[in-house]
Amino acid sequence: MNPKRRTPASSSHKAAALSFLAFGVIALGMVVALEFLDFRAGRHSFIFDNVLRLGRQEPAGESFQRDLATLLAAEKVAYDLFHDRSGVAHLKVDLAEPRFAGFAASLLGLVKKHGGLHQLTEVQGMKEQVVYLYQLRFDKRLTHVVLLSKRLAAKAIVAQPKAPASSAAKSAAAKARGGAPPRLAIVIDDVGYSDLVSDRLRDLGIPLTAAVIPDAPYARSEAQRLHEYGLEAIIHLPMQPKDPANHHPRDQFILVDSSADEIRALLQKAVTAVPFARGVNNHMGSRLTSDPQAIRLVLGLVRDLGLFFVDSKTANTTVAHALARDMGMRTALRDVFLDDVQSYEHASAQLRRLVEIAREKGRALAIGHPFPFTLDALRDAVPWLKQQGVEIVPVSEILE
C-alpha cells in the first residue's frame, strides 16, 4: 500500500498554522514580559496581580514612608513634607525638648526596621533650639532628608534698656556714608540640602547672599543655579563648635587641631563644591572662632584664595572678625539672627531691628536659614523694606 501523498494545499495550510502559532507564542511572551516589567516596577499588572495573584515586594523606602506616616499621626506632631525634583522626600518636624528623644528614637527605629541607613550630617545649635539633619538611604539610594528641630525649654529674657543713638553718632554715620542710604545685607545659611531653595530666594526679588554647605547633596547644583539667577554665593564652612556632643567629622569640619594641609584640602574641596563663591562664613564654629591661633590659620588660608570672611558670631567669645580686620581681610560681623527663635513673628521683628541697626551704623547684617517661616517673613517684608530708605545689597557690599 502506497503512503498517502501530501497535496500542495495541505502543506500550505500546515505552514500557515505553524506560523500563526509561532506568532501567537511570541506575542504572548511579549505581553507576559511587559506585564512582568510593570510588576517589578511597582505598577499594576493584570497577569501577576489579578490572575496569578502574586504578592508585590514593596520598595523599602515606600514601606518606611507608610510607617512614618503612621508614626507622625500617632505622635500628633506638626510637620512639613515635600518631594524634590529627584523624588527625595524632605521632612521637617518641630518638637518640644521633652518629646524629642522619644520621637527621634522611634524614627531611627523605623529606619532600621526597614533595612535603611541613616547619617547625621549636621547639628545646628541656636538660641532657642537645636536642629538635627539626617539623610536616610534605602536600597543604596538617598530617599529622605529629615530635619528634626528640638525646641529648648524657654528661659526668661530680661530686656536690657537700649541707649538711643545720639544725634552726633547718627551724623557721623551719615557722613561716613557720604549721604548714601543705610545698607543692609541678608545671608541665608544652610543652602544645599534641597534643590528648591535657590528658586525661592530668586523669587523674593532682592539681592540676598546664599551660604552653601559644601558637603550638602545639592551644593554644586544650587551654587550653579544661584549664579544663573544673579545671586551671590559664599561657602558655609563647617567649623568646630564648643559642644562636644555635636557631630563634627574631621573630613567635613575644620577643628582646632587641624593642620594647614587638612584645612587647605577642605577649602579646596569647598571651592570645587560651591563654584562662583566669593567668600566664606562659619557654620557652627563657636570653639574654633574663639581660638585665636586656630582661626588665624584658617583666615590666612581663606585670604590666600582671594575670599572674604563673614563672622557668623555663633559665640560672643569670637575673635574671628577682629583678627580678619587686623590681617587686612575684607570682613563683616553678623548683627542679628532672623530665626534664632523659630516663628514668623520673630523673624519679622528681627527684620525691623535690622533696619534700625542699619540706620544707626550705616550698615547691618542679618543671617537666617531657609525655613519656610523665615522665607515667608522675608517675602512679606520686601515691600516694607523698600519703603524704609535703606538699600538691600549682597554681603560683599557691606564689608569693612
Q: Cα angle at 138 between 132 and 140, to 5 degrees?
A: 105
Return the pLDDT at 85. Answer: 74
Q: Choose one of 151, 175, 208: the last residue of a domain.
A: 151
pLDDT digits (tens, 9 = 90+) for 302-353: 999 999 999 999 999 999 999 999 999 999 999 999 998 888 999 999 999 9
Return the pLDDT at 10. Answer: 65
Same domain, 74 and 106: yes
pLDDT digits (tens, 9 = 90+) for 112-129: 999 999 887 766 655 566
- Cβ neighbourhood burial of 333 (10 Å; 0-12, 13-18, 19+): middle
The answer to whether residue 22 sits within a structural domain is no
292-304 vs 260-273: helix crossing angle, rounded to 10 = 50
CA distance 329 to 168: 29
CATH number for the domain spanning 299: value is: 3.20.20.370
In this model, does residue 187 exceed pLDDT 60?
yes
Q: Regarding predicted confidence, which is higher, 66 or 166?
A: 66
Domain span at residue 143?
A: 60-151
Interstrand relation of 308-311 and 331-333 (parallel, antiparallel or unpaired): parallel
What is the number of structural domains in the chain?
A: 2
The answer to whether residue 161 sits within a structural domain is no
Q: Choose one of 151, 182, 205: the last residue of a domain.
A: 151
Element containing residue 96 per DSSP (H, E): strand 89-96
92, 149 in Cβ contact below 8 A?
Answer: yes
Same domain, 231 and 377: yes
Same domain, 185 and 287: yes
Return the pLDDT at 370. Answer: 92
pLDDT digits (tens, 9 = 90+) for 245-292: 666 788 899 999 999 999 999 999 999 999 999 999 999 999 999 999
Element containing residue 381 per DSSP (H, E): helix 372-385
pTM: 0.66
